Amino acid sequence: MANFLKNSNLFRAGTLALVAGFGTSGCFWNDEPSPSPGGFSGTGQSAYYGGQDSFIVVDWNYGKILAEQNADKKRPVAGLAQVATAMVVLDWIGANSISKGSLIAIPNTAPQFGQANPLGLQPGDRISVRDAVSSMILARDPVAAEALALHFGWQMSRQAGGRNGMLVFVEQMNALAERLDMNRTKFENAHGLSVMGRPGYSTARDMAKLANYAIKNPRFNFHAAQSSR
């Protein structure tokens, strides 16, 4: 997958400040230098900070809130749901000693995402867990998210009485949100889009909690620190 995925700076392992939020044009999460007076240096997302957009900026080292706007307003979670998907997958494979080189199949639902398919994956294609997670983190890939959730949801369902694997996986996403005190978040699917259902919702404050959890995880950082794959 070399050169197919390039980190858009939405998920970059960073240094001083964590920025999470939802703008009128979409959602974002970044790790950037601390904001300078009168603006937010280095984010490249200045248009998102006006109007009724939601954001929060948290000091990376001390957890101090540097700035916020509408940080508790519920918004469609969109592609940021894939951060939770990645963490559920990474926590599961870590606990069960599953190789990230193992292969998963792309499901028949892939065409429903249209052009939101950065790798051009088609039903029946096979991709490693490592590459699927990288595609989510670097390119917000709903097809990879769906494939990972179906694959590992099926494994989880065997420990949950054989219930629907996708439902079991989403339950694990919401269980993670509950553990992190993300009290104004509900995930409805693994990709966060409104394809064939509701997209789910969250807040900038809740997403900052998830971001903090993810970036502290070395397995997540392995993927987030890459500029391309």
Range among 31-35, 157-161, 199-203 with highest mean pLDDT value: 199-203
What is 52-225's CATH superfamily?
DD-peptidase/beta-lactamase superfamily (3.40.710.10)
Confirm if 91 and 218 have CB atoms less than 8 A apart.
no
Domain spans of the chain? 52-225
Q: Can you tell me the distance from the alpha carbon of 166 to that of 200, in angstroms, rounded to the nearest whole number?
A: 15
Q: Which amino acid is at 115?
A: Q
The predicted pLDDT at position 107 comes to 94
DSSP string for residues in 169-205: HHHHHHHHHHHTT-TT-B--SSS---TTS---EE-HH
Structure tokens at 226: 């890459």
Summarised one tens digit per residue, pLDDT across range 109-118 is: 999 888 889 9
Angle between helices 81-95 and 129-139 in degrees, nearest 10 = 150
d(CA 44, CA 54): 16
Do 204 and 54 touch, CB atoms closer than 8 A?
A: yes
Give me the phi and psi of 228, to 5 degrees please. Answer: -165, 165
Average model confidence (pLDDT) across the chain: 79
pLDDT digits (tens, 9 = 90+) for 74-104: 988 888 999 999 999 999 999 999 999 999 9
The verdict on pTM exceeding 0.85 is no
| CB 220, CB 137: distance < 8 Å | yes
